[in-house]
Structure formats: structure tokens, C-alpha cells
Amino acid sequence: MSLLRLTDVSFRYPGAPAVLDGISVEARDAALVAVVGPNGAGKSTLLDVVAGLKRPRRASVW
């Protein structure tokens, strides 16, 4: 069973190129998930979308 499923998440700040473009991921029961990457890669933006703090251009978040 999935605890979290993101499908085709895309986000763009006004006047800037896409920060997230077509991100899909699924976290299952008892899974340890890490979001890693260099500065400016969109980690915080992705977590803000998951938390509902930012509204993606398109996505499915379950």
C-alpha cells in the first residue's frame, strides 16, 4: 500500500524556468525515503508541494 504517491509533479516560480518537471515517486509502507540533491535542485519546493504549501502547475498527490 502506498503512503504517498506523486505523479507528474511540475512547479515553476513566476518568471523562472521549471523547478520541478514531471516528478513521479511512490513511498510504500515502512519505507525510508530521502530527498537528496545539490543546492537549487528543488528539494524544498517538492516537500512544499507535498505539504500543500505550494500549488503545482500539474500533479497528482495522494
The pLDDT tens digits of the residues spanning 1-60 come to 778 888 999 999 999 999 999 999 898 888 888 999 999 999 999 999 989 999 888 777
**How big, in percent rounded to 5, are the helix, strand and coil portions of the chain?**
15, 40, 45
Predicted pLDDT at 19: 92
For residues 24 and 9, is the Cβ–Cβ distance under 8 A? Answer: yes
pTM of the model: 0.83
